[in-house]
Structure 1
Amino acid sequence: MKNIIVTGAAGFIGSHLCRYLLQDKNNKVTGIDCFTNHGKDRYSQLNTLDLNNSLRFQLAEEDLTAINWKKHLADDCIVYHLAGMPGVRSSWGSNFSSYVTNNISVTQRLLEACSNFSVDKFIFASTSSVYGEKNGKVSEQETTMPLSPYGVTKLTGEHLCKVYEYNENIPLTILRYFTVYGPGQRPDMAFHNFIKAILKGDTITVYGDGTQTRDFTYIDDCVKGTAAVMSAAKTKGEIFNIGGKERATVNEVIAILEELTGKKANVKYTEKQKGEPLHTWADISKAEETLNYKPGTTLREGLKKQAEYIKTLYKYNS
């Protein structure tokens, strides 16, 4: 039986990862979450509702700034560290202290705890935000230059992981996610807001002119790539981009959503937000080779699944 720990287990990616890992009867998963981002709200509860039905899943509701890791860590366990404070726009100003606590200090505490055990693998969830503004496909060897305080804290988390890998021989793997979307996405994220607004007839706010592009990664593809690290060889000390099957402009996404919902979007364009790159595009060749990562969900397919989820969540009729 593999003992797997997932921090941020009530979050969007964390809950999907736990669900996927539990499909293998040889896996036992301990999910840890302090519900920092939204509290014990409806979405966090929905994310973990079915997980709690599994006898091989345990949810520990603990504050990661004060948790006694000795209760959960063990030799040969696998650690997926997905917990953190997300969001580029909210990371400026006085909010920054929360990002420092949840993206840096919490990571350091966990790494320090892992140094007392012979963990099998330590997988750190990072973000494409560490790259900053780049042209064309971005490989893992590109220079990192984050544009936001959020990106800085995630890159600092990466550096901490590297420090503990070097000094304590922690078997580290870093994953850089590119704009993950799909059912269960946080209510503050763009696609969730877009679909809900279109269905309600509310106004969608687009920051910039909508021509900015993103490499959109469907959640099922993301978790398959994430889970693959567990059994893949040659992952120690490596960084992998986890990107999607295709990229598109924000305007193209809205046009697809209009077709899928049969409703016209009311779009308000406003000033571009600081800290966000104009374009992201992942070179996933390294993940393809080492993790056998093969994103298979088209943007249209993924948006259709998320739209159906939003309709059910808010009880909207077609």
Structure 2
Amino acid sequence: MVENFNASWEGYFIFLGFSKWPHLEVVLFVVILIFYMMTLMGNLFIIILSHLDSHLHTPMYFFLSNLSALDLCYTTSSVPQLLFNLWGPKKTISYAGCMLQLYFVLALGTTECVLLVVMSYDRYVAVCKPLHYSVLMNPRFCQLLAAASWVCGFTTSALHSSFTFWVPLCGHRKVDHFFCEVPALLQLSCVDIHANEMTLMVMSAIFVVIPLILILSSYAAIAWTVLEMQSTTRLQKVFGTCGAHLTVVSLFFIPIMCIYLQPSTKSSQDHAKFIALFYTVVTPSLNPLIYTLRNKDVRGAIRRLSRYEREK
């Protein structure tokens, strides 16, 4: 058993991916490439615009820039490998490459869970405690919250991914997925993985269920405050910013809960691939659109930058 495990360090994994549907691979390649380019351009646009325009130097856009950076890194950790495998006959990844991919996918996914909680707290303070907003959400505190999100994600991933890769794989190489993720890798083991499955459930509860409860609690308080508002203009602004964040939360958490909070079976694995494809490829490309469409701050920033370029 130990020999097989040690041998895998110099070996590789074969992604089964969408090999059951070979006629879909070309279509998937084109669609995924389009969404990946949208993700790169949309999120880079938000990061650059938030940096260049001083009117967007606010906590909301600071956290949004962090979210965009996360989405860029998250998609890049798996999508280029997926495109390579869809295009060519080889659908392999080295053992070291799989370790790195699992680590970054877990780290960035966990960081996003925590960051979405931070963003909901920012909206809670902005709506429910507007007079104290600038004091409570001062730049230093915002930087600490963002840094804590990243550190929490990468530290947790180091523990969880190493625990996953210590499971003996007994020579199995075929991963029934399109990227290295915990449930698919655990299926390769020929030993008892009950402890790993329990760890996965606990980690999912801590970094998926608890963040979701905190986010919903923030928005329950926001909803209560909104009901007492008299100003129609302020009410529309609250719905604009909070509605965008709630949409992003739904697109991120619902697919993840469908995968990580239910027992993995062979019949559900095919569905899990397409759900994972949605939150890995589609969701990061939609986030910039959700936050920028009908957003007066962003439109104003674009006009100011355009005017500045013309005057140069």
Q: Shorter-normalised TM-score: what interval?
A: under 0.3
Q: What TM-score, normalized by structure 1, do the two folds share?
A: 0.25
State which structure, 1 or 2, has the greater radius of gyration over its C-alpha atoms: 2
Q: Which has the higher contact order (CA 8 A, sep 6+)?
A: 2
Q: What TM-score, normalized by structure 2, do the two folds share?
A: 0.26
Which protein has the bigger helix share? 2
